[in-house]
């Protein structure tokens, strides 16, 4: 199984900050990586697929990069509605696996 490791597990930030979340795969997954945002009590929301492609309707202050084993989600200027938990997920091979999540707090 491919293990997905996110860092940090939580971070404190302020509105306007640039935030970077890392995701590392235990083996190469090409660009078969997605990012999700989840707010308390809500379903996850897709932000990025294929490592760097923004889902329709997702603000442009979100961006993704990376390939192989190391990936990054960047929020260029944190907005109040961006405080949430973020997950990465690989879909290169089965079982499909998620990272443990990164909670972005004030």
Partner 1 sequence: EVQLVESGGGLVQPGGSLRLSCAASGFTFSSYWMSWVRQAPGKGLEWVANINQDGSEKYYVDSVKGRFTISRDNAKNSLYLLMKSLRAEDTAVYYCASGVAFQIWGQGTMVTVSS
Contacts with partner 1, residue ranges (CB under 8 A): 32, 34, 36, 38, 43-46, 49-50, 55, 87, 89, 91, 94-101
Question: Can you give the three-state secondary structure of 19-77, one letter per residue?
Answer: EEEEEEECCCCCCCEEEEEECCCCCCEEEEECCCEECCCCCCCEEEEEECCEEEEEECC
What's the closest the beta carbon of residue 32 comes to partner 1, in angstroms? Answer: 8
Minimal distance, residue 41 CB to partner 1, in Å: 10
CB of 19 to partner 1, least distance (A): 19
| Pick 5 or 17: Cβ nearer partner 1 | 5
3-state secondary structure of 91: coil
**Residue among 17 and 100 whose Cβ is closer to partner 1:** 100
């Amino acid at each position: 199984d491919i293990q997905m490791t996110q860092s940090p597990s939580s971070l404190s930030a302020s509105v306007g900050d640039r935030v970077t979340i890392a995701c590392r795969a235990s083996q190469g997954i090409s660009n078969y990586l997605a990012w999700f945002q989840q707010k308390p009590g809500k379903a996850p929301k897709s932000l990025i697929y294929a490592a760097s492609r923004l889902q329709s309707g997702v603000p442009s202050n979100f961006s993704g990069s990376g390939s192989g084993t190391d990936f990054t989600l960047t929020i260029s200027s944190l907005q109040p509605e961006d405080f949430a938990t973020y997950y990465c997920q690989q879909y290169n091979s089965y079982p499909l696996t998620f990272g443990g999540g990164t909670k972005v707090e004030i």
